[in-house]
Amino acid sequence: MMNEMTTVTDTAAQIAAEATPARAQPTLPDAQTVTQVTHWSDRLFSFRISRPASMRFRSGEFVMIGLMGDPHPETGKQKPLLRAYSIASPSWDDELEFYSIKVQDGPLTSKLQHIQPGDEIILRPKPVGTLVHDALLPGKRLWLFATGTGFAPFASLLRDPQTYEDYDEVILTHTCRTTAELTYGAQIIDEIRSSEMLEELIGEGFADKLRYYPTTTREESPKMGRITDLMRSGQVFEDLGVPPLTPTSDRAMICGNLAFNIELKELIEEYGLQEGANSAPREYVVEKAFLD
Ligand code: A2P
């Protein structure tokens, strides 16, 4: 792996040298250093990288990250292999954190899952996305609906003071196949609830607004079932003691696998909420988790 990573760096330098006027010093454009890697299961891992000093982002946004692809069989040329990744770390963090699936034959994640501290990866520092506060109209209760790695943008939003300034209640639902796949999210929720630093930043008792509703579909856990089914049956509203969503009080952000996004979008629209965007804020927003 080290060899492969060395190649990445060399090639990036070469590309930079070719793209820059002759008198400029060649640099490594968009290379960042991996600082930490955690494997949560055979399907999931998270990693942290250095953050360009000038890079700003809004909680919930994503960036393109990746590695150099394999050399072309004939020309030997390498191209960057990039995918969109939601930023999981809060915007006030010195580093950037990402949460990823491992797809064994996935073009990027089959390689990315082997990164180690000290390795370099490519980061295009141009954050964009629709899972942002700016795309929602003011409301009372914010629902954040995630499956699998779709938790990532919410990990950032849940550590943003604005989330608690804008809403009286914030409900995060996370549906995964197994309890092991809930661990990353559960740990972040625990950290948020016990963080003195966040309490200082956001205000005393802010965490009382945060409700966490994890469910599993393929392994026994205290709450089983897809969140969509639990909404249709009314179970989730009963469990949390809140009424079903209404366009006057509720706002929603959706991030998960494609089938989930489509199904939940339909359901949310049945409650009367309409989709918003940066340019036209409304009652809900959706973004797919970017799978390999
Ligand atoms: P299920 O196990 O019933 O397929 P994945 O890891 O495949 O991305 O799935 C993450 C979670 O999303 C799983 O618990 C899965 O449930 C659930 N899921 C998949 N499709 C839908 C859907 N259309 N609506 C609600 N949940 C879904």
Give CA torsion, residues 6, 56, 158, 88, to 10 deg: -10
Residue 178: CB within 6 Å of ligand 1? Answer: no
pLDDT digits 0-9 by tens, 22-33: 444 434 579 999
Closest CA to 161 of 198, 128, 111: 198
Encode pLDDT of 230-281 as tens digits: 999 999 999 999 999 999 999 999 999 999 999 999 999 999 999 999 999 9
Query: How many Cβ atoms are within 10 Å of 175's Cβ, its own excluded?
Result: 28
Ligand 1: does its nearest atom lie under 6 Å from the Cβ of 215? no
pLDDT band at 173 (very low <50, low <70, confident <90, very high): very high
Of 43, 99, 177, 266, which is best to mutate to test ligand 1, by the most ligand atoms within 8 angstroms of its C-beta?
177
| pLDDT tens digits for range 54-103 | 999 999 999 999 999 888 999 998 889 999 999 999 999 999 999 999 99
Distance of CA 115 to the CA centre of its chain: 19
What atom in ligand 1 is closest to the CA of residue 228? 25
